[in-house]
Amino acid sequence: MKIDFFVENSMGDPTPWCRTDVVGPDQVDLLACLLLDDGGLSLGHTISWLDEGLSRVMSVRDAQRAFVDWWRETWGADIYNKEVKIYSLHDETFAVTISLDDFEKALRDWKAFLLSF
């Protein structure tokens, strides 16, 4: 999995952004869509949301749960012991599956990038 983090200007303000090679239907970058879904909330809420996602990943890794879901405003993830399905909350067939390891790395790296921003 390839993921790039960068800053883009949005309405004159620097904004954290990302792009990955995790594309789904119509070549939409579904992992980036999930990571960028901030629910309209502040950076502090996004960090808490990422911490919750990482906690859920660890609960599956530690076999405390066989499955957990994690979602925000528009995008969600079903987390299993080996893979994660990323999907639109408006159309669950608009989805892609990646490994649990790649998903965890993406969450950790996105959080680290946001904290450095």
- Encoding tokens for residue 53? 């996602």
The parent domain of residue 42 ranges over: 3-116
All residue ranges of the chain with pLDDT < 50 are none
pTM of the predicted protein model: 0.94
Task: Indicate the number of domains in the chain.
Answer: 1
pLDDT, position 60 = 97
CB neighbour burial string for 1-12, b if at least 16 within 10 angstroms, e if fewer? eebebeeeeeee
pLDDT, position 17 = 96
